[in-house]
Amino acid sequence: MSSSEMYTLEDMRAGAEVAVNICMGVQPDERVLILGDESSALISKALADAAGAVASAVETCTLEQFGIRPITSMPDELQRRVERFQPHVSFYTASSKPGELRFRMAYMPAVLGANPDGARHGHMINITPPLMMQGMRVDYQQIFDVTMRVHDIVRRAAEIRVTNPKGTDFTATFNPDFNWIPCHGLYHEPGKWGNLPEGETFTSPQDANGLLVVDELGDYFSERYGILSTPVTFEVEHGRVRAVRCEERTLEEDVRSYIFGAENADRVGEFAVGTNIALKGLVGNLLQDEKFPGVHVAFGDPYGSQTGADWKSEHHVDVIPTQCTIVVDGERIMTDGAFSADILRTASGKDEAD
């Protein structure tokens, strides 16, 4: 029995209802498109049921309908389907395969631009039943509040230093003209999208230097390796990876091949602070784990359309150090993975941790 067969449609319903009704705010006159794959059929069905109770129309399809995977460019048939259906809201629930980032980078603007009135997108790449029962069942108003509090501090930052007990000592500096994007989980306005489960704020740094000792990797590494048994160390100088080290040689070579396998794939493209304080630990799936309180950095594409960075890459891999201490322009906002009391305090004065 596969791990997905351990779960039922009923297990997925509560998380799907949060995604549809709270995160994306689907309305009765809206159309919802769900693109998944064969492995995510149960989750796609749960989202379709939740959307069907509200929306005027729902369509579900799988990547396997449009070709043999990996799919590396936008299939014409899928493009026509998106243009014909003109979704107001879309969800992506498929797993990640090597080489498919290029397709996803084409699909995203296609669905966001398909409706004349504008659309929203819930990106749930590599979503699994446990994530539907954990990260998708949190209080997203609370996540919104914490995210916006952190965002208000870091968006003014000139320098952020990150350290951890495993040897991370990494400093990033920031361009005041670049945008910090708050990813709070509430996407009710046209043109908005987020990675669900949610909770982070990110930008593209101007420069970065130091060591990152990480316990999890993104893109297809997340599904292949989960939480790493031996950490990977990245040595970064002037915003580019100069060395990759890991005691697990197969993993080290796999990472090297990715990092140095495309233009700008070795360049620090993203710096982010995770803000989902409802999460209790890493689960081995980057979609959720990058939202865990702390820092993650990505090498490769800087999401320039959002951050303002003027360069691109066909690769993008997130890396997560744990037990982070974060110092923003001399002010410590996190110690050993725990946010300061000021960030955890609600507007009413009640502690979020209570």
Domains assigned to the chain: 3-135 (3.40.50), 138-344 (no CATH)
- Listed as ranges, residues in the chain with pLDDT below 50 are 1-2, 347-350, 354
What pLDDT does 131 receive?
Answer: 96
Look at residue 351 in the predicted model and tell me its pLDDT: 54
> Which tokens belong to 94?
């498929």
Q: CA angle 130-135-139, nearest 5°?
A: 140
- pLDDT for 2 equals 46
Sign of CA dihedral 172, 215, 225, 197: negative
Closest CA to 35 of 118, 95, 101: 95
Provide CB contacts within 8 A for 250, sequence distance 6+: none
* Residue 143 CA: distances (Å) to CA of 13, 26, 137, 277, 330: 21, 19, 11, 7, 25
Residues 315, 174: Cα–Cα separation, whole Å:
22
- In angstroms, what is the C-alpha Rg of the chain? 19
Cα–Cα distance for residue pair 25/13, rounded to 1 Å = 16
**pLDDT on residue 346:** 52
Write the CB contacts of 338 (distance below 8 Å, at least 6 apart in sequence).
293
Q: What is the pTM of this model?
A: 0.89
Crossing angle of helices 76-85 and 101-112, in 10° steps, is 20
Burial of 351 (0-12, 13-18, 19+ CB in 10 A): exposed
pLDDT of residue 275: 98
